[in-house]
Amino acid sequence: MQTIFSPHAKRLLLAAVLLVLPALAAAGTTEGLTVTPANIVMGAQYNGLDLKVSGTVPANSEVIVRLTGAPSTLHLREKGKVFGLVWMNVGKVTLNNVPKICLITASSPLDLLGKAAVPFRLEALAKEISIEKDGGDPSIDIPHQLLLLKTKEKLYGEAAQGITLGPNEGGVRSFTAVIKVPSAISPGAYQVEAIALHNETVTGHSTATITAELIGFPKWLSELAFQHSLLYGVMATVVAIFSGLVIGLVFQSKGAH
Amino acid sequence: MSLTMSLYLPIAGNSVNCLAIFGLGGVVGLLSGIFGVGGGFLMTPLLIMMGIPPTVAAASDSNQIVGASTSGTLAHFRHGNVDIKMGLLLLIGGIVGGTVGVQIIAILRQMGNADFLISITYVLMLGFVGGYMFLESLQAMRKSSRPEVAVASPKRESLYAKMIRIMPLQVDFHRSGIRLSLLMPFCLGILVGVLAAIMGVGGGFIMVPVMVYLLRMPMHVVVGTSLFQILFTCMNVTVMQAAQNHTVDFILALLLLLGSAIGAQFGTKIGKKLGGEHLKILLASLVLIVMFKMLYDLLAMPDVLLAYAGGH
């Protein structure tokens, strides 16, 4: 087993974060961050939604809005070439501290926002992930591959679209961002952040927490499947047999004509 | 009020278009009804392509096969095409073989080469079964299209036929119109069970050629009996997967089975109209297409070098 971040490197990373935090606090926060809807309700017809985030930032600022899910542990397989011919699973990879979702939208292309935007981008997120490898090719860039996998699933993304900035009035400007939340999210807490940037410095940072929860039939079914799993399995089998018999009998009656 | 066709699946953790899932079930059910295969080797990859996690796709597929094979078995039973005695012997053998196969996989996983061996077994089995069936059916169709020449040469009994004849515990299988040793379907059931467990499929596409070529059953009885056997195998898999792994999405399965049970009824009628050789050559083509797709996946570099644990 191999861990990419040594304890020494982790201490350095923590020190760097502690140094940055006071600077952010001194920059002040954006005011009045409003998230609509306030919570994500996942009923039978839930198919993703547009999350509207609005607030104000210091005048002349650009804005980054980020939606992130709680960090979790991921167990993955690494693919590699065997005998120089076929692509197979060649190793196991365990990733810790991986947010389930990370959708980033900005008012200008992120590359133009300079160094101040870097800590809020996907590449920075990948650096905070700890990796344990069992087998596989040591030269593979696992964090980069994780970003590719999650981006393919539409759970990670960066885009310079979906933010409308208002005019500068009284030292502030309003913004409205729309984040497209995919249907493949899990129930739980999610963090919405709005970061204001001006002249390559962070001028404001505000957060809000929203929750995603199952309701109605999906909630009932999920509870049955996880809390009474044997009963759920038997029920699924019985309903399948019954449905097959009913359809079979319907066709039999038609066949009699 | 707007009517949306999307439905959120709480176990799969994603929403799907009801019509797309229903249509997918219908197409696979049609093939299941025609050929007597469960369709797991087609349905699971297609569900994964639609955004369903691999483990949920495989387990929910087993659940829908229960419904489709109930409907298909009932239809074939009405036409007198289910050999229950043969099906039960194959089933018992299959359960024994499946248990042995699961142990083999556990040992292979510890050795670290399981995934490679699973994929190679898949390609070789599909290639061998599909290729043999295709060539054999092609020859038979060519023969039948030629004018009959009156040659009355006595046919020599093959070594295999002699071996079958001298085996102990010979019984009549009236539905199939054959006389065989009880050990034959039992041992072949074990063989299919081992392969099915290693490959993680119901085993229909291996069982059908085994019944045709090794048990020498008539094609239409083969299809009904295969569905009968698959019904019980998938009932066991559904309950086990739901209880141990929580991977059966009942709503996904219900949508799939509504489509597939209806598709299976049409498939059974189409299968009746097609000749035995036509059925065999179509199934062989299908098996070869899946084999080539798997071979391509093995040889082409994937877009992403990481995959979730649980899929093949």
In a domain, B311, yes or no: no
Chain A segment 111-150 residues within 8 A of B by beta carbon are 135, 140, 142, 145-146, 148-149
DSSP 8-state assignment for residue B235: H
Q: Does A235 touch chain B (CB under 8 A)?
A: yes
Does residue A189 or residue A134 have the better pLDDT?
A: A189
Both structure tokens of A31: 């005011």
Most confident of A109-123, B116-130, B131-145: A109-123
CA angle at A66 for the pair A63 and A68, rounded to the nearest 5°:
170
Q: Does A211 touch chain B (CB under 8 A)?
A: no
DSSP 8-state assignment for residue A155: S
In a domain, B1, yes or no: no
Chain B segment 46-75 residues within 8 A of A by beta carbon are 51, 63-64, 66-72, 74-75
Instruction: Please tell me the least confidently modeled range out of A134-143, B93-102, B294-303.
Output: B93-102
Taking only the tens place, the pLDDT of each residue in A199-219 is: 888 998 899 999 999 999 999
Q: How far apart are CA B51 and CA B6, in angstroms?
A: 14
In a domain, B312, yes or no: no
- Reported pTM: 0.72
Determine the pLDDT at residue B146: 61
Rg (CA), chain A: 24
Across the interface, do A88 and B298 touch by the CB < 8 Å criterion? Answer: yes
**What is the ipTM, given to two decimal places?**
0.75
Q: How far apart are CA B307 and CA B288, in angstroms?
A: 26
Does residue B6 or residue B104 have the better pLDDT?
A: B6
Nearest C-alpha in B relative to A246: B71
Percent of chain B with pLDDT over 70: 83
Both structure tokens of A137: 């090719």
Taking only the tens place, the pLDDT of each residue in A135-179 is: 778 888 898 999 999 998 889 999 888 888 999 888 899 999 999
Does residue A95 or residue B153 have the better pLDDT?
A: A95
Q: H or E element: which one contains B84?
A: helix B84-111
Q: Does A237 touch chain B (CB under 8 A)?
A: yes
In a domain, B309, yes or no: no
In a domain, B41, yes or no: yes
In a domain, B184, yes or no: yes
**Is it the case that residue A22 has pLDDT exceeding 80?**
no
Number of domains within chain B: 1
Residues A228, B20: contact at Cβ < 8 Å? no
* B-interface mutation test, from A40, A41, A42, A47, most B Cβ less than 10 A away: A47
In a domain, B6, yes or no: no
Across the interface, do A230 and B241 touch by the CB < 8 Å criterion? Answer: no
Terminal alpha carbon distance of chain B:
43
Taking only the tens place, the pLDDT of each residue in B177-217 is: 788 888 888 888 888 777 766 665 666 777 788 888 888 88
Residues 6+ apart with CB under 8 A from B25: B43, B64, B68, B255, B256, B257, B258, B259, B260, B263
Chains A, B: CB contacts within 8 A come to: 182
Taking only the tens place, the pLDDT of each residue in B16-30 is: 899 999 998 888 878
In a domain, B277, yes or no: yes
The β-bridge partners of A34 are A54
**B127 lies in which domain range?**
12-145+158-299
Taking only the tens place, the pLDDT of each residue in A39-94 is: 999 999 898 999 999 999 998 899 999 999 988 898 888 888 877 888 877 888 89
* Segments making up each domain of chain A, as ranges: 2-214, 219-255
Tokens 């389930």 identify what position?
A: A100
| Homologous superfamily of the A2-214 domain (CATH) | Immunoglobulins (2.60.40.10)
Q: How far apart are CA A98 and CA A79, in angstroms?
A: 20
